[in-house]
Amino acid sequence: MDRMNLKIGVIKGDGIGPEIVTEAMKVLDKAAEKYGHTVEYTKLLMGGASIDVHGIPLTDETVAAAKACDAVLMGSIGGDAKTSPWYKLEPSKRPEAGLLRIRKELNLFANLRPAVLYDELKGACPLKEEITEGGFDMMIMRELTGGLYFGERKTVEENGVMTAYDSLTYNENEIRRIAKRGFDIAAKRRKKVTSVDKANVLDSSRLWRKVVEEVAGEYPGVTLEHMLVDNCAMQLVKDPKQFDVILTENMFGDILSDEASMVTGSIGMLASASLNETKFGLYEPSGGSAPDIAGKGIANPIATILSAAMMLRFSFDLDREADAIETAVAKVLKEGYRTIDIMSEGKRQVGTEEMGGLIAKNI
Ligand code: IPM
Ligand code: MG
């Protein structure tokens, strides 16, 4: 493999973001050094950190700077909605608006959220042992630039009654491109797609189902099943092993991925990649900014470190380097090191920095 120069944009973000991203950079640097690559970081401000400096959660300059990178690594954005001054701003100027805008601007329509139960972390899983026996390994494919998140919304007074509208819109092209990604990924895994919708109620889901079925016709080696979202929520805790790729729209994917993360033991373990039609991607942990534990040095950096591994794999085709990071994570867990969120009896509790350092050392 040729030596590469990796141009990586870094959005440390808010809350625990700076702490966990610092550890992921440490691990990336180590992997790059070991395999002879160089890394060039471009610091990008987004979310609350950008509001504090620019008054808005994402500037045009930052969007342009992100586009000029090969990939972006991100921590988390947002603060405590009750106490943070960011939430006194109108909704379109709050931290989350920056995240939604960058997803849209960079056309990051495919959000991959792998939920894997590590053997070593079975103790942190809230499900009964008979359910988790043999582990599970699923990939949630969440559509990320359509649906309720980006449909028209407004709050108006109608006949003296305050009324709010959010619209859930999908066109067939938006559904087709995410469905294709889902099938492509399933073809390289256990060859099963569970498409999740609410086709018993929603028109958008009926179109979703129709287009997904058309796409399935192009992938004879992959099995397709449909599942209603309420049933899926139940199946995730009843029998998570049944899932390989879960393909779903934006809002359902948001909700189901939090649920899936919890059955793996902790949201602090869940990586994610948001991809467009090119090699570019935005990589971030699935969890939030956790303002309640920010600055305490106890946050779990593993989701961010695993997101960095996904970046090496998807944006740079550096599979060997990505494997090295994933193997190092598994080794450190096997050796018994745990951050507080995944701590169980007889294990050794470590902080954010120590966890990052241990993983880097094992590369
Ligand atoms: C996520 C988050 C975001 C989302 C929030 C912060 C807007 O929950 O990435 O899952 O809803 O997409
Ligand atoms: Mg979410």
Alpha carbon nearest to ligand 1 atom 7, residue: 96
Q: What is the mean pLDDT of residues 246-274?
A: 92
* CB 126 within 8 Å of CB 151: no
Which residues span the domain enclosing 148? 126-264
Average pLDDT, the chain: 96
- Model confidence at 1, pLDDT cuts 50, 70, 90, reads low
Whether pLDDT at 267 is above 90 = no
Residue where a domain stops, chosen among 207, 235, 264:
264
Distance CA 247, CA 183 (A): 9
* Residues 98 and 136 reside in one and the same domain: no
What is the whole-number distance in angstroms between the Cα of residue 352 and the centre of ligand 2? 22
Ligand nearest to the Cα of 46, by number? 1
Strands 273-275 and 110-116: antiparallel
Whether pLDDT at 51 is above 90 = yes
pLDDT value, residue 123: 81
CA angle centred on 288, ends 282 and 293, rounded to 5°: 130
Atom of ligand 1 nearest to the CA of 100: 7
* Residues 95 and 181 reside in one and the same domain: no
CATH number at residue 148: 3.40.718.10
Ligand 1 and 71: CB distance under 6 A: no
Beta carbons within 10 angstroms of residue 121's beta carbon: 21
Question: Do the domain assignments include residue 350?
Answer: yes
pLDDT value, residue 266: 79
Distance CA 225, CA 227 (A): 7
Atom of ligand 1 nearest to the CA of 76: 6
Distance CA 330, CA 353 (A): 17
Distance CA 266, CA 90 (A): 32
- Model confidence at 186, pLDDT cuts 50, 70, 90, reads very high
Alpha carbon nearest to ligand 1 atom 10, residue: 254
Ligand 1 and 249: CB distance under 6 A: no
* Residues 260 and 149 reside in one and the same domain: yes
Ligand 1 and 108: CB distance under 6 A: no
Ligand nearest to the Cα of 149, by number? 1
Ligand 1 and 96: CB distance under 6 A: yes
* Residues 175 and 225 reside in one and the same domain: yes
Alpha carbon nearest to ligand 1 atom 8, residue: 254
* Residues 229 and 270 reside in one and the same domain: no
What is the whole-number distance in angstroms between the Cα of residue 347 and the centre of ligand 1? 32
Ligand 1 and 102: CB distance under 6 A: no
Alpha carbon nearest to ligand 1 atom 9, residue: 286
* Residues 213 and 336 reside in one and the same domain: no
Whether pLDDT at 310 is above 90 = yes
Which sequence positions are flagged as catalytic? Answer: 149, 198, 230, 254, 258
Q: What is the mean pLDDT of residues 337-352?
A: 94
Question: Do the domain assignments include residue 318?
Answer: yes
Whole-angstrom CA distances from 264 to 133, 148, 215, 306 are 13, 27, 30, 14
250-263 and 229-238 helices cross at what angle (nearest 10)? 10
Question: Do the domain assignments include residue 120?
Answer: no
CA angle centred on 300, ends 273 and 316, rounded to 5°: 30
What is the whole-number distance in angstroms between the Cα of residue 158 and the centre of ligand 2? 31
Question: Do the domain assignments include residue 121?
Answer: no
* CB 127 within 8 Å of CB 117: no
* Residues 363 and 317 reside in one and the same domain: yes
Distance CA 157, CA 299 (A): 43
* Residues 254 and 131 reside in one and the same domain: yes
* CB 140 within 8 Å of CB 272: no
Q: What is the mean pLDDT of residues 152-177?
A: 97
pLDDT value, residue 276: 96
* Residues 307 and 251 reside in one and the same domain: no
Distance CA 180, CA 186 (A): 10
Single-letter amino acid code for the residue at 345:
E
Distance CA 16, CA 116 (A): 23
Mapped onto helix, strand or coil, the DSSP state of residue 194 is strand
Whether pLDDT at 252 is above 90 = yes
What is the whole-number distance in angstroms between the Cα of residue 288 and the centre of ligand 2? 7
Question: Do the domain assignments include residue 153?
Answer: yes
* Residues 240 and 139 reside in one and the same domain: yes
Residue where a domain stops, chosen among 198, 229, 264:
264
Q: What is the mean pLDDT of residues 158-166?
A: 97
pLDDT value, residue 326: 96
CA atoms within 13 A on the CB side of 340: 8
CA angle centred on 207, ends 201 and 180, rounded to 5°: 130
Q: Count up the domains in the chain and report the number.
A: 2
Q: What is the mean pLDDT of residues 103-125?
A: 92
Q: For tokens 């090496």, what's the residue?
A: 312
Q: For tokens 């790729």, what's the residue?
A: 245
Beta carbons within 10 angstroms of residue 133's beta carbon: 10
* CB 274 within 8 Å of CB 110: yes
Percentage, residues of the chain above pLDDT 90: 90
Cα maximum dimension of the chain: 67
Q: What is the mean pLDDT of residues 240-258?
A: 97
CA atoms within 13 A on the CB side of 302: 30
What is the whole-number distance in angstroms between the Cα of residue 304 and the centre of ligand 2? 15
319-334 and 352-361 helices cross at what angle (nearest 10)? 120
Structure tokens that stand for 109 in this block: 């329509």
Ligand 1 and 99: CB distance under 6 A: yes
pLDDT value, residue 24: 98
* Residues 247 and 144 reside in one and the same domain: yes
pLDDT value, residue 121: 86
* CB 215 within 8 Å of CB 193: no
Ligand 1 and 254: CB distance under 6 A: yes
Atom of ligand 1 nearest to the CA of 284: 9
Whether pLDDT at 125 is above 90 = no
Question: Do the domain assignments include residue 118?
Answer: no
Question: Do the domain assignments include residue 114?
Answer: no
**End-to-end Cα distance, the chain:** 18
What is the whole-number distance in angstroms between the Cα of residue 220 and the centre of ligand 1? 34
Structure tokens that stand for 330 in this block: 């598994």
Percentage, residues of the chain above pLDDT 70: 100
Residue where a domain stops, chosen among 216, 242, 264:
264
Q: What is the mean pLDDT of residues 305-325?
A: 97
* Residues 95 and 64 reside in one and the same domain: yes
Atom of ligand 1 nearest to the CA of 77: 6
Question: Do the domain assignments include residue 115?
Answer: no
